[in-house]
Amino acid sequence: MFEKLKSEATTILNTNDTVDERLLAICELLKENIAYYDWVGFYFKNSDKEELKLGPYAGAPTDHTIIPFGKGICGQVAVSNQNFVVPDVQAQDNYIACSITVKSEIVVPLFVNGENIGQIDIDSNTKDPFTDADERFLEFINEKVAEILT
């Protein structure tokens, strides 16, 4: 499944659409093709502020359009520069609930020229669905996204 999606994602990112249109298409591709990806979105560093700003996403609307560094899973990844997989969001102290249906989350940082400029965030209504294969796949997606942001 991931290999086919890698090819489709690469095709999307190589189009002449705007960056936001391509990122939205990636979010929709992942949400529609991976059963346990219930919300897929990008957050980006908000200029020189110590916060993330919501970018394109696919899924239910969220009130979390700005996330301070260090807050929630996304805010922690902005500081740690490390992937963060949460098998059970209820077991996390520093978690910002987007929806009562969300059971798990994975966040993978997005680097451009070695700098963490954002991340891809996936919420799942399934408990503990994410594997190493998801991490490697999302790292691949972010590497390809970085190419269109440079």
Q: For 128-144, how does the pLDDT look when each residue is reduced to its tens digit (9 = 90+)?
A: 999 999 999 999 999 99
Q: How many residues does the chain have?
A: 150
pLDDT tens for each residue of 6-46: 999 999 999 999 999 999 999 999 999 999 999 999 999 99
pLDDT tens for each residue of 85-109: 999 988 887 777 667 899 999 999 9
For residue 55, count other CB atoms closer than 10 A to its CB.
Answer: 20
pLDDT of the residue at 112: 96
pLDDT of the residue at 150: 78
Are 121 and 42 in contact, with CB atoms under 8 Å apart?
Answer: yes
What pTM does this model have?
0.95
DSSP structure class, residue 91: G
Q: Which domain holds residue 117?
A: 2-149
Q: Is the dihedral of CA 50, 102, 146, 111 positive or negative?
A: positive
Are 73 and 107 in contact, with CB atoms under 8 Å apart?
Answer: yes
Average predicted confidence (pLDDT) for the chain = 95
In this structure, what CATH number is given to the domain that contains residue 81?
3.30.450.40
Runs of H (alpha helix) within the chain: 2-13, 19-33, 72-80, 132-149
pLDDT tens for each residue of 62-74: 988 999 999 999 9
Q: How many domains does the chain have?
A: 1
Are 17 and 43 in contact, with CB atoms under 8 Å apart?
Answer: no
